[in-house]
Chain A
């Protein structure tokens, strides 16, 4: 059983390498940029699949968590602490800050990216806990509206607040150095490295989530989705699990936000918009709701096309129509990978004598 469920991850790893080599051979290295970005968006999508597909809770505000991650990290790595008080000197002494020069030659003192990242994730997780606890007690329409409301608040705040650049967002966000000379940055010289960083993260997330789904917890989640009162009767603390999945999916979204922001060197309010949240929901729905791999494949495909501009100015419309079409005609999604995975089991069943 351990063998079988790890195959898709191996296949993905191979595919990632193959795509890199193919694009190099075809002389189109710029595809890697869009695929890197699509990879970071995929983190949001697989987290949302866990939430929507496995626990059956809809979230129309997940772009909010992506934005919280990206904006927090962006703000902390660009906010000039130069001339701050004793606390700032303390931070500087402990090496948590980094000095530099801004565009005009002035002194710049900002937080180190890795610390900013940790803080951004912590903030996202904290907000997810605070918002999730009351929100997840709601069902159906009320839950949808509450998450929509949350997403809208985040959007309005980043749009209106001059601290984070209002409509212009934050730009000139520095690179995020990782280890061994790797850094998350948009510099074209490091394009290939960044591609592998992004897809490395995605592979790690898929491995972890696959473990989760096949575990006791995964079964409990599916039970909550299948028949919540029965799950309760079996000792599953449904409220706690729903909250934990919500927080996990928020953390994944924020992680995607942090990395993509450093990759792009900037972030704007559109990343928090409701249309972005709808886009994520559309992709989860198309991929098959409870289908991690389906959502991943569809997410990469659609985001890649969108980033390449294939949808033109009808970007939002395309995702809206996809959502509508899927919900009308194929509410279980297009890619029935779950079904495909069941086939080997069926063969085994037929092999047993009645």
Chain B
């Protein structure tokens, strides 16, 4: 069953075809990795799927609904969550507060009830805080709950951002270079976390450069080059794919 279907997606920036006629699917409950050299269009593709950029043409189908042209907050409400290539935590809020924002789509207190501080609103607040702390426990960082986000160590910031996305209870998680800037041990921890997340039933689509992580946990790999799809297969097949090897020639393996 395909949770995400992308059909003939195109995006042009002036003279540059950033994403050219890309089509693929992501099966529910799987981990799919998106790889390719720098400038291949991976983050643009993410932005198109997530609604941060409108596509020039093509369709995106998520959980049976056509979502191309939707705004990010609508896509988020439909069950997609993302992390960012360059960490986008809310710097002056604490770690748990950052994760609590992820609960936004699952809570209901509006302006009026919040102003008045009604009892059901306060109960919802407490529930949100508990849930945020639960997620932090799942990720193993609950001791940093009250720390301001900008004061966290880099690796922990990445984990908190992951937690924030998880708080959305997403069906599909889009991770943009989750291991960027992490050392070997942290990368391997991150890989285990992503696999655990997949085991709870969340589908994952991730962009990554670290080949060890990609090869270890992905069920399928999509390879982009200059905005076009050049391969879409299981990890072992990708490793032997002649075009992929050519595109990566000269690249170190991670």
* B-binding residues in A (CB < 8 A): 2, 207-209, 211-212, 214-220, 222-223, 226-227, 229-238, 244, 248, 290, 345-346, 348-349, 352, 354
Contact = CB atoms under 8 A, between A and B. Distances in A.
Chain A at the B interface: mostly helix, strand, loop or mixed? helix
A223 B105 CA distance: 14
A125 B84 CA distance: 37
Contacts of B226: none
Given A215-B121, A227-B90, A234 B107 contact: no
A219 B101 contact: yes
Contacts of B105: 234-235
Given A227-B88, A348-B146, A349-B146, A235 B104 contact: yes
B109 A223 contact: no
Nearest to A222: B93
Interface string B176-189: 00000000000000
A308 B240 CA distance: 83
27 contacts: A2-B122, A208-B117, A211-B114, A211-B117, A212-B115, A215-B114, A215-B125, A216-B114, A217-B109, A220-B104, A222-B92, A226-B90, A227-B89, A229-B88, A230-B84, A230-B89, A232-B76, A233-B50, A233-B81, A234-B105, A235-B105, A236-B73, A237-B73, A238-B73, A244-B111, A290-B92, A354-B143
Contacts of B124: 216
A233 B78 CA distance: 11
Nearest to B149: A226
A77 to B, nearest CB: 28
B232 interface: no
Contact of A232 (B71, B102, B115): B71
Interface of B: 50, 52, 71-73, 76-77, 81-82, 84, 88-93, 97, 100-105, 107, 109-111, 114-117, 121-122, 124-125, 128, 143, 146-147, 164, 168
B147 to A, nearest CB: 7
A235 B109 contact: no
Given A211-B116, A215-B121, A222-B93, A234 B128 contact: no
A209 B117 CA distance: 10
A215 B129 CA distance: 11
A234 B101 contact: yes
A119 B90 CA distance: 39
Given A217-B114, A222-B93, A232 B88 contact: no
Nearest to A2: B122
B91 A216 contact: no
Contacts of A248: 111
Nearest to A220: B104
A232 B72 contact: yes
Contacts of A348: 146
A345 to B, nearest CB: 5
B90 to A, nearest CB: 3
Contacts of A346: 146
Contact of A216 (B77, B107, B143, B147): B107
A349 B104 contact: no
Closest 7 CB pairs of A and B: A226-B90, A235-B105, A215-B114, A211-B117, A235-B76, A230-B88, A232-B72
